[in-house]
């Protein structure tokens, strides 16, 4: 007797990992997920995914998922009802607000959450708590990009689309390893680099996969991006390859900028970068001569003490050569996390509200007041590192962290742990018992991308629909619904979480979302700004910049204080990288089977350095910095320069952030993960 086979349903949604924003077709039968396929009709990924996206369904029902709210009592987590946990949180937060003021409370939102959820979290912190102490993962990745591009162009987002690679003649990739961190874009770049006649320039201390195929690889010493970019601009100006008419009509400040660039000390720069000046000159001239040149940058640009300044120099390089405002050009940050662009767009930052409006300006602040129906404070709130300082000073009483493993991924782990231990109430909303969750007083089980709807904005400003595939597991809830429930408990009327209704609200306060509706997103989403009639924007700055003219602002290279203070006793430079198999703290990818492909962090070390310390392949190496020490297994390779080491931070067993430091980008406070002064010795392991 034949049994009827249940029908297979296919739901189109968006990957939860990197900023490429691949579309995924998720097949289900009777509520069970069978597989993920890559749709060919998706503009973003055209039939491709990487292995992270392809197997992204394997973690959502993992036995270790948090499936009920919990309160820690006498050091032990106890499962409680949603009603009990909501009452507990609302009462505590109201007490801190009344006794210590709203600034005693802070929130960290998540790039894994939808735009609508991020909007709700910042609204909760601003309108219900009454503080601007809200921040997100952009702080530790692309906050310098947003700031640097806002200063030079007026808008802190990618100017073009990834698909423009097919329209360009030259790609300049700085401080990024897209093959591992943005694999679908990385594959496009590799195809571009392999085609005869195309120019590809990679500026990176490591000989990455893309660097192997590049026309020019500039293996600079970590921490010298500004010096190399200034040298490139020197040679372009010297060769008369600037775009004079673009500079005249579209920019300001060129004369002063030119004088500063022409006065840089080439001998000094060549020495500090450790790269032959002729290589830099050839690459600079190739970039300037290309009819169309695009730049792409990653965390190797931003996670430095001069991160914001590096972004400004990349933007100025584009202005200098007129590579702005048409297809196949522009400045294109490779956003690391799936919705880090969207979380900042929605106001998850302490100085600008939803839509990047500066809430310290009285008229703008008034606009938020009217819209939210309460007074929003006009003073800037804490950035994440400032939250930790406030906690250590006893000023921060409560911290609500959504989907960020700050213990594993923020620098100087011991300091982060101390800050959490010094905070009276730590609320962690998570999928798994992460390193941060272990320090929580309250655990809230959020929902994964497969269990809720909303929108994510990828690295090319493309707002795409995330569609619920399955019901939240156990007693978990959509993160947005949890925030709404607490808002209501604390007396602020907010309708239940629903992306359609939320987008209607967001489109009224975020100017570049004016024409976005749930219905008009269609299959391929819309790239903001979206006009009221629904017309979207593939290329920014075509006729003018948001601030009128593009700004030339010279920045001089300076050595990071990490090396000035420590290089004598800690002579090696450790830089951090990512691996294809894993995503950030690995909470999801270590539960999809990817851990069988890569099950541990490892340290890249140059053969000459290994020999000096009698280190063989697979030996443990003790890495020691002024903050602490860790033991990592050695992989001997000339992919790194002599004197430079590199490792990932995907595994809590290693906890590499025990040794990273407190130096931050001087402007945006992004941590300097890319230059850590260390000394090494062979060790016996953990």
Interface ranges with ligand SF4 (CB under 6 A)? 15, 17-18, 20-22, 45, 49-50, 52-53, 182-184
Choose between 113 and 420: whose C-beta lies nearer to ligand SF4: 113
On whether the CB atoms of residues 320 and 203 are closer than 8 A, the answer is no
* H or E element in which residue 680 lies: strand 676-683
Beta carbon nearer to ligand SF4, 17 or 512: 17
Half-sphere exposure of 499 (CA within 13 A, CB side): 22
User: What token pair was written down for 360?
Assistant: 């310290």
Q: How far is the CB of 601 from ligand SF4 (least distance, A)?
A: 19
Q: Least distance (Å) from ligand SF4 to the CB of residue 42?
A: 10
Smallest distance, Å, CB 20 to ligand SF4? 4
Instruction: Between 17 and 400, name the residue whose CB sits nearer to ligand SF4.
Output: 17
By C-alpha distance, which of 330, 260, 304 is closest to 552? 260
Instruction: Kindly state the tokens that stand for 624.
Output: 């020691």
Residue 463 Cβ, how far from ligand SF4 at the closest point, in Å? 15
Nearer to ligand SF4 (CB atom), residue 22 or residue 70: 22
Q: Which is nearer to ligand SF4, 184 or 419 (CB)?
A: 184
CA distance 25 to 38: 6
CB of 118 to ligand SF4, least distance (A): 18
Cβ at position 18, least distance to ligand SF4 in Å: 3
Distance in angstroms (rounded) separating the CA atoms of residues 183 and 196: 22
Q: Which helix (H) or strand (E) holds 172?
A: strand 170-174
Q: Which is nearer to ligand SF4, 58 or 679 (CB)?
A: 58
CB of 333 to ligand SF4, least distance (A): 15
CA distances, 463 to each of 110, 170, 344 (Å): 16, 27, 13
Q: Which two tokens stand for residue 532?
A: 């009221």
Instruction: Compute the CA torsion angle 438, 444, 445, 450 (nearest 10 deg).
Output: -110
Nearest CB to ligand SF4, comparing residues 176 and 324:
176
Query: Measured from the CB atom, is 15 or 390 closer to ligand SF4?
Result: 15
Per DSSP, helices labelled H in 253-339 are: 254-262, 266-273, 277-289, 299-302, 307-320
Greatest Cα-to-Cα distance within the chain, rounded to the nearest angstrom? 87
In degrees and rounded to multiples of 5, residue 52 shows phi and psi of -65, -50
Decide: helix, strand or coil at residue 89. helix
Smallest distance from ligand SF4 to CB 340, Å: 12
**CA 671, 211, 586, 686: dihedral to nearest 10 degrees?**
-80
Closest CB 435 distance from ligand SF4, rounded Å: 22
Nearer to ligand SF4, 19 or 144 (CB): 19
211 CB contacts (<8 Å, ≥6 apart)? 202, 204, 217, 219
Torsional sign, CA 634, 635, 640, 642: positive
Report which residue's Cβ sits closest to ligand SF4: 53
Smallest gap from Cβ 49 to ligand SF4, in A, equals: 4
- Closest distance to ligand SF4 from the beta carbon of 181 (Å): 8
* Pairing mode of beta strands 70-73, 76-79: antiparallel
b/e map 93-127, b = 16+ CB within 10 Å: beebbeebebbbbbbbbbbbbbbbbbbbbbbbbbb
Nearer to ligand SF4, 97 or 182 (CB): 182
Which lies closer to ligand SF4 via its Cβ, residue 36 or residue 443? Answer: 36
Give the full edge-to-edge strand order of the sheet including 23-29: 8-14, 23-29, 32-37
């Amino acid at each position: 007797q034949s049994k009827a086979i249940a029908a297979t349903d296919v739901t189109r949604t968006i990957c939860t990992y990197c900023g490429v924003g691949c579309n995924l077709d998720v097949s289900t039968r009777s509520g069970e997920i069978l597989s993920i396929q890559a749709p060919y009709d998706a503009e973003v990924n055209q039939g491709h995914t990487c292995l992270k996206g392809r197997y992204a369904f394997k973690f959502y029902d993992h036995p270790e998922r948090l499936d009920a709210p919990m309160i820690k009592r006498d050091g032990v987590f106890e499962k409680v009802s949603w009603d009990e946990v909501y009452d507990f949180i609302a009462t505590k937060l109201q007490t801190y607000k009344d006794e210590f003021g709203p600034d005693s409370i802070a929130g960290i939102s998540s790039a894994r959450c939808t735009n609508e959820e991020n909007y709700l979290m910042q609204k909760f912190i601003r309108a219900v708590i009454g503080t601007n102490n809200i921040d997100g993962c952009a702080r530790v990745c692309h906050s310098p990009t947003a700031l640097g591009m806002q200063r030079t162009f007026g808008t802190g987002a990618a100017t073009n689309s990834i698909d423009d690679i097919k329209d360009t003649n030259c790609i300049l990739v700085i401080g990024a390893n897209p093959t591992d961190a943005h694999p679908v874009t990385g594959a496009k770049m590799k195809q571009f680099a392999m085609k005869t006649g195309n120019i590809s320039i990679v500026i990176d201390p490591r000989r990455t996969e893309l660097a192997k195929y590049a026309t020019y690889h500039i293996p600079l010493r970590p921490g010298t991006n500004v010096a190399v970019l200034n040298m490139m601009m020197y040679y372009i100006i010297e060769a008369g390859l600037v775009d004079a008419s673009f500079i005249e009509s579209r920019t300001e400040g060129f004369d002063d900028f030119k004088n500063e660039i022409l006065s840089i000390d080439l001998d000094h720069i060549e020495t500090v970068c450790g790269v032959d000046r002729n290589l830099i000159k050839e690459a600079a001239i190739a970039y300037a001569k290309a009819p169309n040149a695009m730049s792409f940058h990653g965390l190797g640009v931003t996670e430095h003490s001069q991160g914001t300044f590096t972004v400004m120099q990349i933007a100025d390089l584009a202005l200098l050569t007129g590579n702005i405002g048409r297809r196949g050009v522009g400045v294109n940050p490779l956003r690391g996390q799936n919705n880090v662009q969207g979380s900042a767009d929605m106001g998850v930052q302490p100085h600008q509200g939803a839509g990047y409006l500066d809430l310290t300006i009285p008229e703008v602040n008034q606009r938020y007041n009217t819209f939210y129906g309460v007074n929003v404070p006009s003073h800037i709130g804490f950035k994440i590192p400032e939250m930790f300082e406030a906690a250590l000073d006893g000023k921060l009483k409560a911290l609500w962290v959504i989907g960020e493993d700050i213990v594993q991924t923020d620098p100087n782990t011991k300091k982060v742990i101390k800050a959490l231990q010094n905070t009276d109430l730590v609320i962690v909303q998570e999928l798994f018992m992460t390193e941060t969750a272990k320090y929580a007083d309250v655990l809230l089980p959020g929902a994964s991308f497969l269990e809720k709807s909303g929108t994510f904005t990828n690295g090319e400003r493309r707002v795409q629909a995330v569609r619920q595939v399955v019901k939240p597991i156990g007693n978990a809830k959509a993160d947005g619904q949890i925030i709404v429930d607490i808002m209501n408990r604390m007396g602020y009327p907010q309708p239940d979480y629903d992306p359609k209704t939320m987008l209607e609200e967001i489109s009224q306060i975020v100017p570049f979302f004016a024409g976005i509706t749930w219905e008009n997103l269609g299959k391929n989403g819309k790239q903001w700004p979206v006009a009221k009639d629904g017309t979207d924007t593939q290329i920014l700055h075509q006729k003018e910049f948001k601030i009128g003219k593009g700004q030339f602002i010279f920045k001089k290279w300076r050595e990071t204080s990490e090396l000035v203070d420590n290089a004598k006793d800690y002579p090696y430079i450790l830089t951090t990288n990512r691996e294809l198999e894993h995503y950030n703290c690995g909470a999801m990818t270590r539960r999809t089977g990817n851990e069988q492909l890569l099950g541990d962090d490892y340290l890249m070390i140059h053969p000459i350095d290994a020999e000096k310390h009698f280190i063989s392949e697979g030996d443990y190496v003790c890495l020691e910095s002024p903050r602490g020490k860790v033991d990592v297994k050695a992989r001997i390779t000339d992919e790194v320069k002599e004197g430079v080491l590199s490792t990932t931070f995907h595994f809590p067993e290693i906890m590499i952030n025990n040794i990273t430091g407190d130096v931050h980008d001087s402007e945006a406070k992004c941590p300097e993960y890319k230059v850590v002064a260390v000394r090494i010795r062979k060790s016996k392991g953990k």
